[in-house]
């Protein structure tokens, strides 16, 4: 790895990156090109939902070789509206309408994300830069009560996904409304 990669991006590179990552349509337009090239893309991401596996902020390598590996436990980048998100796969739809959908969740979160159509997946997270060294994303870690709650909610969401994707979406939204109603503002 050259020292150039560890440097801060130039103003021009930041402008190009902001343009490319600016909207869902632009990002989804370049993904097939990146897949055909079979390369990787290095990006800087913030947010604490994947700590300690991915510290915040971090530099990540997203792999675009062929179709992304999306097995349970894999960390992937995907589009959620105009936002690029990085979360772990906790459930993969298997039957009828659920096939082609994933349930994802941040390692520090208990409530999973809304079901994600595989078309919105950008790629697998191949490596995370920590202290100048690249390594694969670490394992998920949660305290036991949070791990149990996350397991139950992800399995319930997965079961509802198998019945109907809309039911799973409704369930996740309802869980989030309960979280917002119960937790004091400073705890969110």
The predicted-structure confidence for 103-160, as pLDDT tens digits, reads as follows 999 999 999 999 999 988 989 999 999 888 999 998 988 899 999 999 999 999 999 9
The enclosing domain of 110 has a CATH number of: 2.10.109.10
Q: Are 157 and 168 in contact (CB under 8 A)?
A: yes
Domain count, the chain: 1
- Round to whole Å and give the CA distance between 21 and 18: 5
Residue from 180, 154, 76, 73 nearest 119 by CA: 76
Element (H, E) at 16: helix 11-20
24-58 pLDDT, tens digit per residue, is: 777 777 788 877 888 788 888 888 899 889 988 88
**DSSP state letter for 10:** P
Element (H, E) at 117: strand 116-117
Residue 14 has a pLDDT of 56
CA-angle at 43, arms to 130 and 133, nearest 5°: 20
- Round to whole Å and give the CA distance between 76 and 72: 10
Model confidence at 184: pLDDT above 90: no
CA 58 vs CA 42, 47, 78, 133: distances in Å: 10, 9, 16, 12
Range of the domain at 168: 3-187
Confidence of residue 188 (pLDDT cuts 50, 70, 90): very low
Q: Are 41 and 61 in contact (CB under 8 A)?
A: yes
Residue 68 has a pLDDT of 63
**Positive or negative CA dihedral for 34, 27, 99, 69?**
positive
């Amino acid at each position: 790895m050259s020292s150039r990669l560890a440097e801060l991006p130039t103003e021009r590179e930041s402008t190009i990156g902001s343009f490319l990552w600016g909207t869902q349509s632009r990002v989804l337009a370049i993904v097939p090109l990146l897949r055909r090239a079979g390369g990787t893309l290095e990006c800087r991401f913030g947010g604490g939902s994947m700590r300690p596996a991915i510290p915040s902020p971090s530099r990540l390598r997203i792999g675009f070789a062929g179709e992304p590996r999306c097995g349970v436990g894999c960390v992937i980048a995907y589009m959620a509206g105009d936002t690029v998100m990085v979360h772990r796969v906790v459930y993969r739809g298997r039957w009828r309408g659920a096939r082609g959908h994933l349930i994802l969740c941040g390692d520090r979160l208990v409530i999973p994300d809304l079901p994600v159509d595989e078309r919105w997946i950008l790629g697998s997270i191949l490596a995370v830069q920590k202290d100048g060294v690249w390594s694969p994303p670490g394992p998920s870690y949660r305290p036991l009560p949070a791990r149990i709650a996350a397991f139950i909610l992800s399995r319930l969401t997965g079961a509802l996904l198998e019945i109907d994707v809309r039911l799973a979406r409704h369930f996740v939204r309802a869980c989030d409304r309960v979280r917002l109603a119960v937790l004091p503002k400073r705890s969110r």
